[in-house]
């Protein structure tokens, strides 16, 4: 990188702000589209880059993270880039060790097992020191994007990170993480609150580094009962959005909340400072719109498994899903991310179908 590409100023002028306008429910010429996990193992060029480096080493190398972020944009006419990183870097910054184990996914050899483990975490971590590599990658990518499309920054939601910290990996039941909520709600709140505070500092710094839109991933929200979501997930999600906006200004950056599986959460998030709710494929867009009194924009929500279908099947599914949203305040995406065994041509078909569908509609 050249010296000026590491400075978070004099960024190229943005040429395509469709996704920012859609997030604010403003007029758009067509519905913007991007794909969760658009950079990843389904792309041969992803598997070929940074050979010999493990996943987190790639995240920690800004030039590589930037190159990976740009890979899907070379192939597909998508309307946003998302910085290549991972939600788990926050737990690393708090002092936990995490390995990306082939065939198993992220693994913490020493998960949280008692109150003392929580007290030992580095709550006062300086995010610039521990996660400076993410901000460098964001700044570099924002320059290299040349204003082509906006750059999305992201973080994991407190409940989802709490679940990883305690389970030590993914889980079907999240029984260890959930048992804390029943056995020691006080300590649970302490850990959730600690994660929230670091996440706010992290997201604010991402925006200062050049991120233009933020998404918070609560991938495991659906493992909670509605009561527990209300007590242990929603307040922290809400706090993240309000604290980020209090720090940066209300209009500084639109924010997307993806509470996967949390069907009953629409009305809880409706009064929050999020601009966009991201819906998984089991959610009904029209029900979500009713529950939020049409204040919010929506993202989603094609079943990712439709990507296994033919181009025609994908096209039909895109038309079906998009007609449920209408065109104002919609960001086209899937209900979750790409999987390694999906084909790149499916993303091409998906993006093309979104373009075709929305150019046939009156958007204003």
> Which residues in this chain contact ligand CP3 in the complex, by CB under 6 A?
36-41, 55, 82, 84-88, 100, 105-106, 154, 170, 217, 219, 337
* DSSP β-bridge partners for residue 253: none
* Residue closer to ligand CP3, measured from CB, 201 or 260: 260
- Which of 287, 245, 279 minimizes the C-alpha distance to 262? 279
For residue 54, the minimal CB distance to ligand CP3 (Å) is 8
The CB density around residue 299, as the number of other CB atoms within 10 Å, is 28
Q: What is the largest CA-CA distance in the chain?
A: 59
Smaller CB separation from ligand CP3, 220 or 232? 220
Q: Least distance (Å) from ligand CP3 to the CB of residue 276?
A: 15
CA 47 to mean position of chain CA atoms: 21
Instruction: Tell me the β-bridge partners of 105.
Output: 101
Query: Least distance in Å: CB of 230 to ligand CP3?
Result: 21
Residue 194's alpha-carbon distances to 77, 189, 244, 286, in angstroms, are 39, 8, 15, 35
CB closer to ligand CP3 out of 134 and 354: 134
Q: Report in angstroms how near the CB of residue 186 gets to ligand CP3 at its nearest.
A: 26
d(CA 195, CA 155): 11
For ligand CP3, give the closer residue by CB, 130 or 219.
Answer: 219
Q: Of all helices (H) and strands (E), which one includes residue 313?
A: helix 311-325
Taking the complex as a whole, the smallest distance from the CB of residue 241 to ligand CP3 amounts, in Å, to 17
For every residue of 81-130, DSSP letters joined together read EE-S--TTHHHHHTT---EEETTTEEE-SS---SHHHHHTS-TT--HHHH
Q: Which CB, 162 or 289, lies closer to ligand CP3? A: 162
Contact by Cβ (8 Å): 35, 336: no
Under DSSP, is residue 155 helix (H, G, I), strand (E, B) or coil?
A: strand
Task: State which residue, 106 or 329, has the beta carbon closest to ligand CP3.
Answer: 106
Q: Is the CB of residue 120 less than 8 Å from the CB of residue 92?
A: no
Chain length of the chain: 364
- Shortest distance in whole angstroms from residue 88 CB to ligand CP3: 6
Closest CB to ligand CP3 among residues 40, 329:
40
Q: Which is nearer to ligand CP3, 97 or 320 (CB)?
A: 97
Give how far Cα 217 sits from Cα of 36, 117, 156, 258, Å. Answer: 11, 24, 5, 5
Report how far residue 111's alpha carbon sits from residue 58's, in angstroms, rounded to the nearest whole number.
23
Token pair, residue 198, equals: 């670091």
* 38/223 with CB nearer ligand CP3: 38
Q: How far is the CB of 164 from ligand CP3 (least distance, A)?
A: 7
Q: Which is nearer to ligand CP3, 125 or 338 (CB)?
A: 338
Residue 73 beta carbon to ligand CP3: minimum distance, rounded to whole angstroms: 11
Closest approach, Cβ 215 to ligand CP3, in A, equals 7
Asked if 78 and 70 touch (Cβ cutoff 8 Å), the reply is no
Least distance in angstroms from the C-beta of 65 to ligand CP3 = 9
Return all residues near 142 (Cβ < 8 A) that are at least 6 apart.
8, 11, 151, 209, 210, 211, 212
């Amino acid at each position: 990188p050249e010296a000026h590409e590491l400075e978070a100023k004099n960024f190229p002028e943005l040429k395509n702000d469709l996704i920012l306008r859609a997030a604010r429910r403003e007029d758009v010429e067509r519905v913007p589209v991007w794909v969760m996990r658009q950079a990843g193992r389904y792309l041969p060029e992803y598997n070929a880059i940074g050979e010999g480096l493990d996943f987190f080493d790639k995240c920690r190398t800004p030039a590589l993270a930037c190159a990976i972020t740009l890979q899907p944009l070379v192939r597909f006419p998508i309307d946003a880039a998302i910085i290549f990183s991972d939600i788990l870097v926050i737990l690393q910054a708090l002092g936990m060790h995490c390995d990306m184990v082939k065939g198993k996914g992220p693994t913490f050899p020493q998960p949280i097992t008692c109150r003392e483990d929580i007290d030992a975490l580095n709550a006062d971590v300086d995010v610039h020191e521990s996660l400076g590599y993410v901000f460098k990658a964001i700044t570099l990518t924002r320059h290299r994007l040349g204003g082509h499309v906006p750059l999305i920054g992201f973080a994991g939601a407190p409940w989802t990170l709490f679940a990883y910290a305690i389970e030590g990996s993914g889980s079907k039941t999240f029984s260890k993480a959930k048992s804390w909520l029943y056995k020691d709600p006080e300590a649970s709140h302490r850990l959730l609150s600690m994660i929230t505070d670091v996440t706010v500092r992290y997201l604010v710094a991402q925006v200062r580094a050049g991120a233009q839109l933020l998404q918070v991933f609560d991938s495991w929200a659906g493992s909670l009962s509605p009561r527990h979501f209300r007590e242990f997930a929603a307040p922290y999600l809400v706090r993240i959005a309000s604290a980020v906006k209090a720090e940066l200004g209300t209009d500084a950056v639109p924010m997307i909340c993806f509470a996967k599986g949390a069907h009953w959460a629409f009305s809880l998030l409706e009064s929050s400072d999020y601009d966009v709710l991201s819906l998984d494929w089991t959610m009904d867009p029209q029900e979500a719109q009713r529950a939020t009194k049409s204040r919010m924009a929506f993202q989603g929500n094609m079943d990712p498994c439709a990507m296994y279908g033919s181009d025609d099947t994908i096209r039909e599914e895109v038309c079906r899903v998009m007609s449920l949203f209408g065109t104002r305040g919609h960001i086209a995406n899937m209900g979750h991310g790409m999987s390694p065994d999906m084909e790149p041509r499916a993303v091409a078909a998906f993006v093309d179908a979104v373009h075709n569908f929305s150019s046939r509609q009156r958007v204003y």
